[in-house]
Amino acid sequence: MAGIDISLKEAMSISGAIGVALVDYTSGLTLGVMGGGAIMDMNIAAAGNTDVIRAKVRTLEMLGLQDGIEDILITLDSQYHLIRLLQGRRSGEALFLYLALNKSQANLGLARHQLRKIEAELDF
């Protein structure tokens, strides 16, 4: 099992990674952040994507769907924003990994696969 810092470093090694954050979407607080730099404030991006998750969870509840959200993809002109909801090992956890990728350098399928692997190894 890997800790938060190791998992964030692994995510930053994904081809095209701009930044990554581990976020609690019930509170909107980031538990860890790496990258972003001058391109993107990862704390602001993570907080904004908390609203995206909450809206989608609410919509699924209103529709009565029992499916869980695996991930959400937002495609911009030059970036992919990948939001991966984590399956909590403890009751009540509501966390997601948020990964911003440079579209011209990233392989989206491989990035999704690598985030699943990071999730499986993450000890949170």
Structural tokens at position 84: 């991966």
Reported as half-sphere exposure (CB side, CA atoms, 13 A), residue 19 has a value of 19
Summarised one tens digit per residue, pLDDT across range 29-76 is 899 999 998 889 999 999 999 999 999 989 999 999 988 899 999 999
What single letter denotes the amino acid at residue 84?
A: R
Stated pTM of the model = 0.91
User: CB within 8 A of 16, min separation 6: which ones?
Assistant: 80, 101, 102, 103, 104, 105, 106, 107, 111
pLDDT of residue 76: 97
Contact 11, 17 (CB under 8 A): yes
Given strand 29-35, what is the order of strands in its sheet? Answer: 29-35, 17-24, 95-102, 79-85, 71-75
Give the CATH architecture of domain 4-121. Answer: 2-Layer Sandwich (3.30)
The domain limits of the chain are 4-121
Banded pLDDT at 89 (limits 50, 70, 90): low
